[in-house]
Chains A and B, each alone.
Chain A
């Protein structure tokens, strides 16, 4: 079974702090994704990566950055956390590019609260 793990289920940070959210997948997937989920808005893509050291902006990249130094690990960074970044953060991974439309496998999510 595919396993996507996220470093924390719950996180509380203060405004202005630097926040790292870690995601690890164990299925050698090329693609990894970070979403945030907010009530009434569904899931929105923040950043994604289709290879080591590659990153692409999603729909809402402002205020976030990412790092992918190893194939299995994809980190989301909030340089200076703000209260409007309070949300559920979901990591996902999938196999392949182009015509290989693998389904995405999701981690359990990190509920981040910024006070």
Chain B
């Protein structure tokens, strides 16, 4: 069965520190997709990134970077030089190819607080 684990429930960092949010997933599918979403205090989930299981290249987008490692079933998210606006709940999610639609299985989220 599919599963997404975000072991860090809450993290606090001081502004300008780097922070890594962990995500470990389980699936029996060989084709799957991984996502990260951000949920700011306003409540609306914002899509950040999607990776498919055949593309293990790390990705960088500004201060954000993602490290996908199939060997450890992890898809970790790093924010460099954190800012107060990064304070949010971050969700990692998994979608398996076998499902008819692109259902997402979410982790329980990590609440990040960036202290000014």
The chain A residues found within 8 Å of chain B, CB to CB, are: 30-31, 33, 40-45, 48-50, 56, 58, 88, 90, 92, 94, 96-109
Contact = CB atoms under 8 A, between A and B. Distances in A.
Given A40-B108, A90-B45, A101-B50, A48 B35 contact: no
Given A106-B45, A109-B43, A50 B108 contact: no
Question: Which 5 A-B residue pairs are closest in the complex by CB-CB distance?
Answer: A106-B45, A42-B108, A50-B101, A43-B106, A42-B106
A50 B50 CA distance: 20
6 contacts: A40-B108, A41-B108, A42-B108, A56-B100, A97-B100, A103-B35
Interface residues of B, number: 25
B8 interface: no
Given A42-B106, A104-B104, A99 B97 contact: yes
Contact of B43 (A30, A33, A88, A98): A88
B93 to A, nearest CB: 8
Given A42-B91, A101-B95, A31 B102 contact: yes
A27 B108 CA distance: 28
Given A41-B108, A42-B91, A43-B91, A104 B47 contact: yes
Interface string B25-38: 00000000101010
Contacts of B109: 42
B102 A101 contact: yes
